[in-house]
């Protein structure tokens, strides 16, 4: 333990010292390198800046020292048994597991990307802490940063991702059963700012899509409002999945993949054509396996190539802007995803479907037990009338 600091340096961070130059009466600040003997760095005369620099260097030094200590402790199996793995070690292992799941097509790339983002955040913020010793307060401090910045949806996503992370740690035995500090944090409530897509606004947007430069956006809108599919699922549709009078599609959000069979004769109350007619129009004069594909040459595109979900969102947003929809002051414009809600609402109003839940591919606990197991897909046949 080092000797007590002199009175003149007690208000300064560790390793930072002041020195009065009697020749000019100025006070200079020096930083003593804690790694070496008698090595000093001049920090000038700006006290506030010298303190900030010293705090940053101390943080880097102590983090490096803690990391070095952890590496030494990790070589002792008794330490790991008693104190458990670090957040960094578990996070890296968990990420590899999710990458294997992606390669096995158990999760989508977008899911992997989101998981990677929040696992890396967990490692960066809590990496040196032992999994068994992470407190609710440590988790709350991270979440509070995002809440204070007004990023409530992001904070909620982080909380949900870390709850799952600690559940995985329970399954692997890295923490005790029931230990989940993320789940013990206060739920984050926020109001969704995105506007719903109203029928009249949809009709205006749809009319604009008929003369829009990218013809595929019209077809994507028609399919989305007819089937209620998410943009990612619309983007993935292929002509080979049309058979036996149905369009069969996997639902990407389902943890154990669900297949929905849409009858080609199904017709949205908002359109004057059925699903089969829409798909026929999508073919055009281009040979492509994808139902939603590029039909014209453009910069950085290949004719016949799949249109990604992001492009659907971007062009739909442009149509919304062109339509000049009136919004409430605290609301943001509707996105492509709102076609899904509009589809469900239109069928409820028109009594077109017996089960809108089937249309959207949602599962209840009863239907999960009845239809899903580890070896088979659940095929939901949407009933018309």
Domains of the chain: 7-74 (3.30.160.60), 80-171 (1.10.150.130), 199-381 (1.10.443.10)
Q: How confident is the model at residue 284 (pLDDT cuts 50, 70, 90)?
A: confident
Residues 330-357: pLDDT tens digits? 788 889 999 988 888 887 755 444 454 5
Marked catalytic residue, from 151, 238, 253, 257 = 253
pLDDT at 382 > cutoff 90: no
Residue 43 CB coordination number (10 Å): 21
pLDDT at 267 > cutoff 80: yes
Report the C-alpha gap between 324 and 312 in whole angstroms: 19
Marked catalytic residue, from 130, 159, 246, 340 = 340
Largest CA distance in the chain: 96
pLDDT at 101: 93
pLDDT at 80: 56
State residue 40 phi and psi, 5-degree precision. -125, 150
Determine the 3-state secondary structure of 251 from DSSP.
strand
Q: Is 366 a catalytic residue?
A: no
Task: Tell me if 248 sits within 8 A of 288, measured CB to CB.
Answer: no
Span 197-206, average pLDDT = 92
DSSP conformational letter for 5: P
Marked catalytic residue, from 159, 218, 230, 315 = 230
Q: Is 118 a catalytic residue?
A: no
Which residues touch 367 (CB under 8 Å, ≥6 apart)?
A: 378
Q: How confident is the model at residue 160 (pLDDT cuts 50, 70, 90)?
A: very high
pLDDT at 34 > cutoff 90: no
Span 280-301, average pLDDT = 88
Q: Is 340 a catalytic residue?
A: yes
Q: Is 246 a catalytic residue?
A: no
Marked catalytic residue, from 80, 125, 362, 377 = 362
pLDDT at 15 > cutoff 90: no
pLDDT at 95: 97
Q: Is 290 a catalytic residue?
A: no
Q: CA nearest 332: which of 321, 340, 322, 341?
A: 321
Q: What is the rounded average pLDDT for all residues in the chain?
A: 83
pLDDT at 49 > cutoff 50: yes
Q: How confident is the model at residue 87 (pLDDT cuts 50, 70, 90)?
A: very high
Given CA atoms 119, 259, 366, 340 in this order, what sign does their dihedral have? Answer: positive
Alpha carbon 319 to chain centroid, angstroms: 25
Span 48-57, average pLDDT = 86
Residues 212-237: pLDDT tens digits? 989 999 999 999 999 989 898 999 99
HSE of 304, CA atoms in CB hemisphere, 13 A? 5
pLDDT at 79: 52
**DSSP, residue by residue, 69-81:** HHHHHHT-HHHHH
Report the C-alpha gap between 6 and 365 in whole angstroms: 68
Identify which of 4-18, 141-155, 263-277, 364-378 has the greatest average pLDDT. Answer: 263-277
Give the tokens for residue 133. 């010793």
pLDDT at 371: 27
CB-based burial of residue 208 (10 Å sphere; 0-12 exposed, 13-18 middle, 19+ buried)?
middle
Residue 243 CB coordination number (10 Å): 11
pLDDT at 1: 43
Residue 356 CB coordination number (10 Å): 17
Q: Is 230 a catalytic residue?
A: yes
Alpha carbon 237 to chain centroid, angstroms: 23
Marked catalytic residue, from 19, 32, 308, 337 = 337
Alpha carbon 230 to chain centroid, angstroms: 16
Report the C-alpha gap between 121 and 155 in whole angstroms: 12
pLDDT at 299 > cutoff 50: yes
pLDDT at 362: 46
Report the C-alpha gap between 225 and 184 in whole angstroms: 39
pLDDT at 194 > cutoff 50: yes
pLDDT at 94: 97
pLDDT at 201: 93
Span 89-117, average pLDDT = 92
Residue 241 CB coordination number (10 Å): 18
Is the pTM higher than 0.95? The answer reads no
Of 59-63, 81-85, 241-245, 364-368, give the lowest mean pLDDT range.
Answer: 364-368
pLDDT at 186: 93
Query: In sequence order, which ranges of the chain are alpha helices (DSSP H)?
Result: 47-74, 77-83, 87-103, 109-126, 136-148, 152-171, 199-209, 216-227, 231-236, 275-283, 309-323, 338-350, 356-360, 365-371
Span 50-78, average pLDDT = 70
């Amino acid at each position: 333990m080092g000797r007590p600091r002199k009175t003149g340096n007690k208000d300064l961070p560790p390793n930072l010292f002041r020195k009065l130059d009697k020749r000019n009466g100025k006070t200079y600040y020096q930083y003593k390198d804690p790694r070496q003997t008698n090595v000093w760095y001049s920090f000038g005369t700006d006290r506030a800046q010298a303190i900030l620099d010293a705090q940053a260097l101390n943080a880097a030094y102590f983090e490096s020292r803690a990391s070095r200590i952890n590496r030494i402790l990790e070589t002792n199996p008794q330490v790991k048994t008693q104190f458990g793995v670090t957040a960094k070690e578990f996070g890296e292992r968990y990420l590899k597991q999710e990458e294997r799941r992606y390669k096995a097509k158990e999760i989508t790339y977008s899911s992997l990307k989101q998981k990677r983002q929040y696992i890396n955040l967990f490692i960066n913020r809590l990496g040196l802490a032992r999994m068994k010793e992470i407190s609710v307060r440590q988790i709350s401090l991270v979440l509070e940063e995002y809440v204070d910045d007004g990023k409530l949806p992001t904070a909620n996503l982080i909380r949900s991702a870390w709850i799952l992370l600690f559940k995985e740690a329970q399954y692997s035995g890295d923490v005790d059963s029931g230990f989940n500090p993320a789940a013990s944090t206060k739920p984050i409530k926020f109001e969704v700012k995105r506007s719903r897509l109203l029928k009249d606004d949809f009709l205006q947007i749809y009319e604009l899509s008929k003369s829009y430069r990218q013809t595929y956006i019209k077809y994507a809108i028609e399919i989305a409002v007819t089937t209620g599919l998410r943009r990612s699922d619309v983007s993935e549709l292929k002509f080979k999945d049309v058979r036996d009078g149905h369009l069969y599609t996997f639902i990407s959000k389902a943890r154990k993949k669900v297949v929905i069979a849409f009858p080609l004769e199904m017709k949205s109350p908002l359109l004057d054509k059925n699903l089969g007619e829409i798909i026929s129009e999508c073919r055009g004069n281009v040979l492509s396996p994808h139902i939603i594909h590029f039909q014209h040459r453009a910069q950085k595109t290949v004719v016949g190539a799949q249109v990604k979900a992001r492009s659907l969102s971007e062009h739909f947003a442009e149509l919304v802007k062109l339509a000049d929809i009136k919004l409430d002051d605290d609301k943001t414009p509707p996105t492509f995803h709102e076609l899904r809600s509009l589809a469900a609402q239109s069928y409820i109003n028109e009594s077109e479907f017996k089960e809108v839940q089937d249309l959207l591919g949602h599962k209840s606990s009863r239907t999960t037990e009845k239809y899903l197991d580890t070896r088979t897909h659940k095929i939901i046949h949407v009933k018309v009338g």
